Amino acid sequence: MTIADPTAVANHSDYTDNVYSGKLDHRAQVCALIEKDGLVPKHVIESEVKWFYDVLGLDDMYFMLEDPATVAGHITSLYGAQLTSMNKTNSVDITFESRREQGAVFIHNSVPGISKTEGPNYEKMIDAEYLDISVPQGAFRVESYRSRGKVSKGLDASLRTYFVNGCDFVNPDPKGDAALDINQVSDRTFLAKATPVVLDLYSAVMAKVLGRTGPVIVSEELPSGSYRLVIGYRQRSTQGYFSALSDLYHYYGLYSSRKYVEQFSNGVTIISLYLDLAKHAKRMAAGSSGSGSSATSSIGSSPVLGATAAPVSIEDGIAQIMREASLLFCIPNTPFQTLFKTGELSVQEAVYGYAGWIFAQHFLNRLGSEYATLVDILDPTDATDMVVLAKLKKRLRQETFTREHILDIMLRHRDLLKDLYLHFAQVHYIHSETPSGISRLADRLKDNLHVSLSMARLQDKAALTKDELLVKIARVTTNDHDAMVMRALLDFNEHVLKTNFYQPTKVALSFRMDPGFLPAIEYPTKPYGLFLVIGNEFRGFHVRFQDVARGGIRIVRSRNAEAFSINQRTLFDENYSLASTQHRKNKDIPEGGSKGTILLNMDAQDKSAVAFEKYVDAVLDLLLTGQSPGIKDRLVDRLGRNEILFFGPDEGTAGFMDWASQHARKRGAPFWKAFTTGKSQTLGGIPHDIYGMTTRSVHQYVLGIIRQLGLDESACTKLQTGGPDGDLGSNEIKISRDRTTAIVDGSGVLCDPKGIDRAEMTRLAHARQMIQHFDVAKLSPEGFRVLVDDFQVTLPDGSLVQDGLSFRNSFHLNKMAAADFFVPCGGRPEAIDINNVGELFEADGSTRFKYVVEGANLFFTQDARLRLEKAGVHLFKDASANKGGVTSSSLEVLAALSFSDEEFGKLMCQQEDGSLPAFYQEYVADVQKAIEANAAREF
């Protein structure tokens, strides 16, 4: 038995067979219907039906679910397909599908052990339409069988059937101990078919799934010599996994005789695959055995995964699949998937290519030396010069290397991609062994397949050095663009200091990068540390400018494909700028600045929690030393020192801080209490929103301006971006006393020149609701609300708004937004830059705002700020105004590090009766005073 998890598999008993008692009567009806239709010669009907029922070897479930008329149609179609194949080509193409409200049946023919690249891909369809969307409130189970007989005497193809059915759970909403009781959380059909041994196995796998973030993988050798592979994971934690697993075991020359996907009402999915060597793999294995070769034949200096070839034994293939199932769980599908299906790339090469593709999208130096020369020539104080330079920079980044162009180059140079993967593997896997230990590695591989993630099949191929790769890239590529892309992958290899790519279990890929590859012309201050994290639902970064640094993690969402494309292009620049601003903002605390960003993929906009959890777990892989062989191994560490990161709340992540802290604790991180800030009070956190920590700093600058200039706050008008649903926006509404004339948030624009009703604003702020919930009856006749989904809206002044989304996105530049104060409490970075700042000026040269206090980070670019200040605007930038939250976080961590666990629970955590310790309340009050004092002192 090969096993990747301590869970024990007792024996080979599994599901009871499907037996259809009415099969003979069903068969007789089918014969009568075929004869009535007259499409099959009468003298062959009996033999065709007998072959279909008795010889082909379809599972009885097919006959249970399909009525005689449907089966008669299938037999007739199959007979016609066989006649066509005899007359035209040596192939048969059979596809049947039948859908109903709570399930479906799919049938197609295929050669066991070979992935089809053409025709309907039913497994991808099942993933997308049934499995990927399964949750306890609506889940689907799958039974799939391969017929024992062939569809035609001269072909190896057999029929694969898929039976998809909606789940009927015994207990749809289990609580407490019931969530671990398999008899409570199972589908009734599964319980009727599963043996006690399967129930015990699934129960053990389920418990482990609920206790970790990633997949649980176990295997068992059956008496027949085939294997059962069982994989458990949380529902909706991956996508396209069922079909990706088929491509994986086909790559290793295996096929499945049957497979099951079971769902459970506690949020767990379990897949069972029954695997054996395919016929073509057995022939190759026999040939290999006859020649005296072995799975670990001469490896020279660089053992690596070879091109497609069957494993010498099924054991080798199963061991490899178990390791790579975790890699596929992270990234089930990539643009390189077709090359993986056809065997031109291994799964490691395909996933490496995907990671390199993302790296190249963000870090190709697209500006070039000519841009640097232009920067030196132009006058940085000349607004016109800076506008031209900004437009040129934006255009070069957008048009020089698109995602599609980079991918096309990589696909055309797949041999180079293989060489670059080998170079990567030499550093991050193979060089974990000393050179003298390579031969010992080969010996150990024969006895212990757990040693390797990618070396079940080895070949003689020396890895190229960096210089040799540069020479080969120059020789093989045909133009500068191709060479730049492939050199970018080499840069990636050279600057990865640590990665979980070869970690046996993981949920996303993480890379600790040396930031030395960043061009100084674009990133003048070199970060201290850089992390790249890639998951199935997202990509993300973490940048810090000091070893001990602090900053929030934000989720970046995209409303449409165009927004995603923009967000993707600017993601790292935004992250870098946010971290740099945070570094300047942290001048009142000992920690440096950092920031993390998570960009959700376009099809994962509703999976922020899943993406955040994977991001955190993947980063922890690189912060913690693996202590569980086969689950969390020690990684190759080119950094050579321990690191600790500190995460805080930011846009879209405030509610996840408790989970991250507890997850770090579960994984054994000694710094778990300080790992995240802004936690709930039950964990000793100081929630920024409850105590208005960020707003206390921002609003001090508003009050400072009012005090310094002798203004009446109640008479001042204000534009606010970032609405009552957010931390900063809601608290700004609660503590301000001005006449707010406009609010812009995620749902749209709310504007009233007479002043928005403060009582109604405050109600929304307390409820943390967007302005779409504002009672418009409380607007003056001149007031209006335009939501992002609105079209063709006529405003009170008679002007027409064509579409609400565009109106919302640019309202801060609209003449109707004019006010005394502009306080951005939310919005995208660089919303006002040198290209559009001119829209804030009237025809006479005056500005629409007299005072700007930047609560939102990076809302203005530096050159836009300078132009406004030159025009007389009193502007306080984000690094000064928005630092209350980080001061609170720093002092929260100080308490976490100062007390023992017992002291911390007694003095800093909410008690069981709901009360807050007196020390906690005094400490929070002191934190608030420190924030206000810092802001007043800097003002």
Work out the burial of residue 175: count CB atoms within 10 Å of its CB; fewer than 13 is exposed, 13-18 middle, 19 or more buried. exposed
Q: What is the pLDDT of residues 259-282, one digit of tens each?
A: 999 999 999 999 999 999 887 666
Residue 805 reports pLDDT greater than 80: yes
pLDDT in tens, 77-86: 878 776 765 5
3 state DSSP class of 631: coil
For 825, half-sphere exposure in the C-beta direction (CA atoms, 13 angstrom radius) is: 32
Q: How confident is the model at residue 799 (pLDDT cuts 50, 70, 90)?
A: very high
Q: How does the average pLDDT of the chain come out, rounded?
A: 86
Q: What is the structure's pLDDT at 114?
A: 81
pLDDT digits (tens, 9 = 90+) for 917-935: 999 999 999 999 999 888 8
Give φ, ψ of 646 to 5 degrees.
Answer: -120, 120
Bridge partners (DSSP) listed for residue 529: 544
The structure tokens 């993707």 sit at 568
Contact of 778 with 755, CB cutoff 8 Å: no
CA trace torsion 303, 305, 308, 311 (10° rounding): 80
User: What pLDDT, on the 0 to 100 scale, is given for residue 633?
Assistant: 82
Is the overall model pTM greater than 0.75, yes or no?
Answer: yes
| The pLDDT value given to residue 303 | 31
Tokens 């093989």 belong to which residue? 476
Instruction: Say yes or no to pLDDT of 789 above 70.
Output: yes
Q: Among this protein's residues, is 595 annotated catalytic?
A: yes
> Helices 693-709 and 727-735, interaxial angle, to 10°?
40
Q: Residue 396: what pLDDT?
A: 67
pLDDT given for residue 244 in this prediction: 94
Q: Helix (H, G, I), strand (E, B), or coil: what is residue 632?
A: strand
Q: pLDDT of 816-871, one tens digit each?
A: 999 999 999 998 888 999 889 999 999 999 999 999 999 998 899 988 999 999 99
Highest mean pLDDT among 309-313, 338-342, 712-716: 712-716
Longest dimension (CA), the chain: 105
Residues 6+ apart with CB under 8 A from 314: 225, 226, 227, 254, 275, 276, 277
> Has residue 596 got a pLDDT over 80?
yes
- In three-state secondary structure terms, 342 is coil
Sorted by sequence, the CB contacts under 8 Å of residue 644 that are 6+ apart come out as: 548, 623, 671
Dist. CA 808–CA 313, nearest whole Å: 62
Task: Provide mean pLDDT across the span 489-501.
Answer: 96
Q: Which of 98-102, 148-152, 361-365, 542-546 has the lowest mean pLDDT?
A: 148-152
Contact between 389 and 375 (Cβ < 8 Å)? yes
CA distance 884 to 879: 10
Contact 241, 261 (CB under 8 A): no
Cα–Cα distances in angstroms (integers) from residue 386 to residues 286, 397, 675, 835, 863, in the given order:
70, 16, 41, 9, 8
Give the pLDDT band (50/70/90) at residue 87: low
Find the Cα–Cα–Cα–Cα dihedral 493, 499, 502, 506, rounded to 10°. Answer: -140
Residue 75 confidence (pLDDT): 86
Tell me what pLDDT residue 731 has: 92
> Residue 100 corresponds to which amino acid?
R
Whether the Cβ atoms of residue 727 and residue 690 lie closer than 8 Å to each other: no
Q: Which of 595, 607, 632, 877 is catalytic?
A: 595
pLDDT in tens, 18-63: 888 899 999 999 999 999 998 999 989 998 898 888 887 778 888 8
Residue 248: which of 142, 158, 319, 175 has the closest Cα? 319
The reported pLDDT for the residue numbered 683 is: 93
Pull the structure tokens for residue 245: 């697993």
Given a cut of 90, whether residue 810 has pLDDT beyond it is: yes
> Looking at per-residue confidence, does 228 or 628 come out higher?
228
Give residues with Cβ within 8 angstroms of 311, minimum separation 6. 252, 253, 281, 285, 295, 317, 320, 456, 457
Rounded CA separation 675/648 (Å) = 8
- Going by C-alpha positions, the residue among 609, 646, 359 that lies closest to residue 507 is 609
Lowest model confidence (mean pLDDT) among 414-418, 473-477, 692-696: 692-696
Task: Identify the weakest region by mean pLDDT among 396-410, 477-491, 636-650, 778-792.
Answer: 396-410
Give the amino acid at 230. V
Separation between Cα atoms, residue 385 and residue 272, nearest integer Å: 64
Segment 186-226, tens digit of pLDDT: 999 999 889 999 999 999 999 999 988 889 999 999 988 89
Residue 91 pLDDT more than 70?
A: no
Residue 295: pLDDT band with limits 50, 70, 90: very low
Instruction: State how far the Cα of 579 lies from the Cα of 594, in Å rounded to an integer.
Output: 4
pLDDT at 93: 73
Name the residue with higher pLDDT: 94 or 735: 735
